[in-house]
Amino acid sequence: MNITGHILIIDDEASLRKTLARILQQAGFDVTTAESAEQGLDYIKTTPFDMVLTDLRMPGMHGMDALKLIHSNHPALPVILFTAQPDVNSAIDALRHGATDYLLKPIKPEAIIERTRSILLNHQREKRKREIQSQIEILQSELKELNGMENSTKPPAQPANPVALEKERFLKRGPLVLDLQARRVLFNEETLNLPPTSFDYLLVLARHAPHVVDYQTMVAEAQGYQTDTREAQELTKWHIHQLRQIIEKDVHNPAYLLNVRGTGYRLVVD
């Protein structure tokens, strides 16, 4: 599938801004650049973008404040934050306020290309799903009108093999249930609200549970690109911290998301 899109890059550092633009343009994407968050927000008001890449720390408006405004006005628009000064709290805040991902500088060309393609592919799939669902609803409504069935209470036809479909849709590990279609999580019959990337990390852990998943494997399977051990460890640590905030009763003494020092993490729920 040919993945294209219009990407907005926001960064006050001209050399990095131009380098990222050149990398993404060579990969087949349309790119617009802005030297400040304020300029980037002005562009978003008048131009439809498929994804935004923005630095976290810039003169003037902070990247986190720009993220909040973008997510408030365009909740479906993917936003990736990047920074040269990693901080667990800022990473968690970014995910909580709608960031799709959080990357470390220096950004490797292959990593940004792979991550961009992965995010846009998922975004296009979800958009197409919504379009198909809307078309189905319109056709169903028209069919009811034609058949005079507006008030019908007849249940919908069951799938040919509902058991098989359920197995494909749901991943269950003890009290943990992941709905792969709706991308929802139930834990002890309670619905958990997870950021998209945190859901992907939990899914990786659940698929491998109860075995240990090393840092690089987690990043590769959850975020779709290869990275070195140090960066993989930092990225994984932020997402696990976010998951623990939601899942664990005591984040300082986790019972489900366990750290295997120097290696990775494992999920224990059975």
pLDDT at 192: 86
Same domain, 174 and 105: no
What backbone phi and psi angles, to 5 degrees, belong to 226? -90, 145
Percent of the chain with pLDDT over 70: 87
Q: Quick one: 100 and 189 in the same domain? A: no
Residue 79 belongs to a domain: yes
Within a domain: residue 128?
no
The boundaries of the domain holding residue 57 are 6-121
pLDDT-derived band at 224 (thresholds 50, 70, 90) equals: confident
**Mean of the per-residue pLDDT values for the chain?**
83
pLDDT one-digit tens code per residue, 126-156 = 777 767 877 787 777 777 777 765 555 555 5
Buried b (16+ CB within 10 A) or exposed e, 104-126: beebbeebbbbbbbbbbebbeee
Tell me which of 44-48, 57-61, 167-171 is least confident.
167-171
Distances 264 to 18, 98, 200, 213, 229 between C-alpha atoms, Å? 35, 26, 16, 5, 10
Residue 245 located in a structural domain: yes
Specify whether 82 is located in the same domain as 167: no
pLDDT at 72 over 90: no
Give the per-residue pLDDT at 19: 93
Single pTM value for the model: 0.55
Residue 18: give its domain's CATH number.
3.40.50.2300
CATH of residue 197: 1.10.10.10
Assess whether the previous peptide bond of 78 is cis (omega < 30° from 0): no
My answer on whether 10 and 117 are in the same domain is: yes
